[in-house]
């Protein structure tokens, strides 16, 4: 098959790993082209190594990548974020249509929903069946983040959602909770496939404890609770700082952040105000280094702010954590907690509750090393049976094949 993959963000940006899925499909014998933007996330500027132009051809593991010009990521500014999304949508419709050739289907990564409109703009001219991979439910995701509170803008997003879903030949979602949400909104059940997120087992894997690395990072002789990834508004990370304050009586417990984002400086300031010495900020690391950092952590933490939307999904970092074979502290209720409990991969607690989170940390601290290792082993085994790139890419491949057959 000839497959186009449309995503606003792509390698080397963190987060969406569409490029990994593209490379896996290429190895399965398909012709794959990615249409994306110039790298900017998580910054409010473009990556220095990319000289801007209206378009640029790039490659990732033999996958052709067409990059189109757009406004850079807006950080905390809602207006700049809207410009970021809208400018990419316009570039895809105007410039993308020049380069798009005949294809069997188009995979479209959502969010943002404006990419769904861009995909429709390509479909109009090329009659390509669309498959939306919905990783965030809008407008609920925007409401949950707290970045936008305008009712008119939220209604606009709901209107976009209602417009784009009927345009898709198929829709993939990462959890059964998301599927139920879409069915309630009128999307036919038979159009929706539940396909989980994945992690590349060649990158995220169990690693040996590195004593020198632990000492260099300030993690040696500590019971480390690691949060790796985006330090954003939706993560509700102030709760972790408040939990750290409740755990100062245990000298060896330390919360570690490995990542960056719009909340980083505020969290650092909060720690300084409270005089906390048990919170460590490491900054952002390449994905290839995360397994080594996870290996010197005792527990891997997932946390999102309390919102009904977050009960419907499994944060993607959960899969990467499971691949690393470490015990997980899941502070997200719903589907995510169910996964940890059913896989015996760790301990769960409510989100946005510093007392419950600190109690869960104390419980982990009182758990024997052998019990924690068993949790990590269970997490890794569950990952290998369900969440490898090969397993998940095969599910996407079958979805694409079914859609192409239905078109014929």
Residue 408 above 60 pLDDT? no
248 and 218 share one domain: yes
pLDDT in tens, 189-199: 999 999 999 99
- Domain for residue 115, yes or no? yes
Number of domains in the chain: 2
pLDDT in tens, 203-227: 899 999 999 999 999 999 999 999 9
**What are 184's two structure tokens?**
């309630």
pLDDT in tens, 290-307: 999 999 999 999 999 998
- Domain for residue 204, yes or no? no
Report pLDDT for 202.
87
pLDDT in tens, 293-343: 999 999 999 999 998 888 888 998 999 999 999 999 999 999 999 999 999
DSSP codes of every residue in 318-356: HHHHHHHT--EEEE--THHHHHHHHHT-EEE--SS-HHH
151 and 221 share one domain: no
- Domain for residue 206, yes or no? no
148 and 242 share one domain: no
- Torsion angles phi and psi, residue 178, rounded to 5: -65, -40
* Pairing of the two strands 170-173 and 130-134: parallel
- Domain for residue 305, yes or no? yes
Report pLDDT for 148.
64
Instruction: Report the share of the chain in percent with pLDDT over 90.
Output: 72
11 and 151 share one domain: yes
Residue 96 above 90 pLDDT? yes
Q: Which domain holds residue 325?
A: 211-386
- Domain for residue 242, yes or no? yes
189 and 220 share one domain: no
- Domain for residue 281, yes or no? yes
Q: Is the dihedral of CA 172, 309, 284, 379 positive or negative?
A: negative
Q: How far apart are CA 285 and CA 333, in angstroms?
A: 28
Question: In this structure, what CATH number is given to the domain that contains residue 9?
Answer: 3.40.50.2000
186 and 225 share one domain: no
191 and 277 share one domain: no
Q: What is the mean pLDDT of residues 155-181?
A: 90
97 and 141 share one domain: yes
230 and 282 share one domain: yes
368 and 392 share one domain: no
Spatial CA neighbour of 283 closest among 230, 342, 324, 341: 230
- Torsion angles phi and psi, residue 65, rounded to 5: -125, 125
- Domain for residue 398, yes or no? yes
138 and 264 share one domain: no
Quickly count: other Cβ atoms within 10 Å of residue 144's Cβ.
20
40 and 73 share one domain: yes
């Amino acid at each position: 098959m000839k497959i186009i993959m449309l995503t606003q963000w792509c390698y080397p940006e963190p987060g969406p790993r569409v490029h990994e899925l593209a490379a896996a499909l290429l190895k399965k014998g398909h012709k794959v082209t990615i249409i994306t933007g110039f790298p900017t996330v998580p910054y409010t500027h473009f990556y220095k190594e990319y000289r801007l132009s209206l378009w640029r051809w790039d490659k990732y593991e033999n996958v052709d990548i067409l990059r189109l010009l757009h406004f850079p990521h807006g950080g905390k500014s809602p207006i700049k974020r809207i410009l970021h999304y809208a400018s990419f949508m316009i570039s895809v419709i105007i410039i993308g249509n020049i380069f798009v050739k005949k294809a069997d289907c188009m995979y479209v990564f959502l969010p943002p929903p404006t990419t769904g409109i861009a995909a429709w703009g390509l479909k109009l001219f090329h009659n390509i069946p669309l498959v939306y991979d919905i990783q965030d439910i809008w407008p609920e995701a925007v409401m949950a983040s707290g970045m936008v509170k305008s009712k008119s803008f939220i209604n606009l997003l709901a209107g976009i959602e209602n417009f784009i879903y009927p345009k898709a030949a198929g829709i993939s979602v990462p959890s059964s909770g998301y599927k139920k949400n879409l069915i309630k909104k009128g999307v036919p059940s038979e159009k929706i496939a539940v396909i989980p997120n994945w992690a590349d087992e060649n990158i995220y894997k169990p690693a040996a404890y590195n004593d020198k690395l632990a000492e260099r990072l300030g993690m040696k002789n500590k019971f480390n609770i690691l949060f790796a990834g985006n330090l954003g508004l939706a993560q509700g990370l102030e709760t972790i700082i408040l939990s750290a304050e409740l755990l100062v009586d245990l000298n060896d417990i330390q919360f570690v952040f490995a990542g960056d984002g719009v909340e980083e400086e505020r969290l650092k300031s909060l720690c300084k105000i409270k005089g906390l010495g048990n919170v460590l900020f490491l900054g952002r690391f390449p994905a290839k280094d995360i397994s080594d950092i996870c290996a010197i952590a005792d527990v891997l933490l997932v946390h999102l702010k309390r919102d009904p939307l977050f009960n419907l999904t499994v944060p993607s970092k959960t899969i990467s954590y499971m691949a690393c074979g470490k015990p997980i502290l899941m502070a997200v209720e719903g589907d995510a907690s169910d996964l940890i409990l059913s896989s015996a991969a760790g301990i769960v607690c409510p989100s946005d509750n510093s007392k419950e989170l600190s109690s869960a940390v104390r419980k982990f601290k009182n758990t024997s090393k052998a019990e924690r290792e068993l949790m990590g082993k269970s997490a890794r085994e569950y990952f290998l049976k369900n969440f490898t790139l090969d397993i998940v890419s095969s599910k996407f491949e079958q979805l694409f094949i079914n859609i192409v057959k239905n078109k014929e």
